Amino acid sequence: MSELLEVHDLTVHFATEDGLVEAVDNVSFSVRPGEILGVVGESGSGKSVTAHALLRLIRPPGRIVRGEIRFEGADLLALPEARMGAVRGARIALVFQSPRTALNPVLTVGRQIARLYELHQHVAPAEAWRRTIEMLTLVGIAEPERRARQYAHQLSGGMCQRVMIAMAIASSPRLLIADEPTTGLDVSIAAQILDLLRALGRRTGASIVLITHDLGVVAEACDRVAVMHAGQLVEIADVHTLFKRPLHPYTQALVRSIPRIDREVAMEPIPGAVPSLLAPAPGCRYADRCARVLEVCRRERPVLRAAGASHEVACHAVEVESGTAVR
């Protein structure tokens, strides 16, 4: 299948006073048309930075050092800034983590959506407003006419997130990046938001990259999952494979850390914390936390290798055990 988005060796560095922080390190993955790809990892694993890098929204002191982002046949990193503006919002849209602060406090929510139609589709204000109401109806907001004339602080958290989603899909993007869209929402509202995203994905055929730290969200909504740890992508697989047969020690630990109420298995937290990304040691960044660490792990960075149909993993231990090591 031809891919909608292909990311190769994406590397993002942040220059801080203490030195270079390697926030995203040689990340490669792809997104297929119409699928929902989950990106999971602990805080600080580089999920959000990766998402922002896709839209080239990394601002100094951050810098995309290397890599290629192919989207609809063009390398986004090579595009002039003016043409990138046409990609943002129109072809790739971003749903923010905290909808309330991502909405402008002094503009009505309807105005903010209508503005997008005027910006990207150059329609007259009246027509833009009509489409705005339509869009608010689509994302399940009751009384859209009234709500459109209200400000963010007059709406509930769930409603703000619906507005954000309406903004994101307003110009029918091919790729929707949702950065922790359900954080801060209560469980039932979060479930509704996920349902909405899934339904919209199906309806419009857009692909969704769903960034989250919640494996429950992944299991519920995603087709495939990419697991990130300390700025590196360690495993990528379809959602069933990942939960049934995780290969990377980190993924296995993540799956084991899900609290289970149906079995008498104690929840196992992952030992250690995300390592500092400040001038990290060569090799696998999970080495210090890993139970199956080998000598080679500290020397050489493992690369993603196929480990089955639509299953890739970056781990020396897995390679050695399965005999796929090519040395």
Partner 1 sequence: MPWRRLARNRLSFAALGAILVVTVAALLAPWLAPYDPDEPDAAVALASVSVRHPLGTDLYGRDQLSRLIHAGRVDLLVALSATAIALTLGATLGAAAGYRGGWVDHLVMRGVDAVMAFPAFILALAITAALGNSTANVVAAIALTHVPIYTRLIRGEMLKARETEYAEAARTVGNRPHQIVLYHLFPNCVPPLIVQATLAMGFAILTVAALSFIGLGIQPPQSEWGQMTAEGAGYVVSGEWWLVLFPGFAIMLTVLAFNLVGDTLRDLLDPRMRGVR
Question: Closest Cα to residue 270, out of 245, 248, 251, 292?
Answer: 251
The distance of closest approach from Cβ of residue 92 to partner 1 in the complex, given in angstroms and rounded to an integer, is 9
- Based on CB atoms, which residue is closest to partner 1, 76 or 307? 76
d(CA 171, CA 86): 11
Contact predicate 242/225, CB 8 Å: yes
**Nearest-approach distance from CB 193 to partner 1, in angstroms:** 17
By beta-carbon proximity to partner 1, the closer residue of 166 and 253 is 166
95-122 exposure pattern, b = at least 16 Cβ within 10 A, e = fewer? bbbebbebbeeeebbbbbbbbbbebbee
Place of tokens 């139609």: 117
CA distance 51 to 53: 5
Contacts 24+ apart (CB under 8 A), 272-275: 274/42, 274/43, 274/44, 274/45, 274/229, 274/230, 275/230
Q: How many CB atoms lie within 10 A of CB 1?
A: 8
For residues 84 and 302, give the distance between their C-alpha atoms in angstroms, rounded to a whole number: 33
- Closest approach, Cβ 53 to partner 1, in A, equals 12
CB of 96 to partner 1, least distance (A): 6
Q: Considering the complex, what minimum distance in angstroms separates the CB of residue 97 from partner 1?
A: 8
Quote the least distance from Cβ 168 to partner 1, whole Å.
8
Minimum CB distance to partner 1 smaller for 112 or for 241 = 112
C-beta closer to partner 1: residue 175 or 230? 175
Binding site for partner 1 (CB under 8 A): 55, 57, 85-90, 93-94, 96, 98, 101-107, 115-116, 119-120, 164, 167
> Distance (Å, rounded) from C-alpha 9 to C-alpha 13?
13
Minimal distance, residue 15 CB to partner 1, in Å: 16
Q: Which residues contact 111 (CB under 8 A, 6 or more apart)?
A: none
- Smaller CB separation from partner 1, 38 or 89: 89
Q: Give the H/E segment covering residue 182.
A: none
The residue (of 86 and 273) whose beta carbon lies closer to partner 1 is 86
Question: Closest CB to partner 1 among 57 and 325?
Answer: 57
Q: Which amino acid is at 60?
A: P
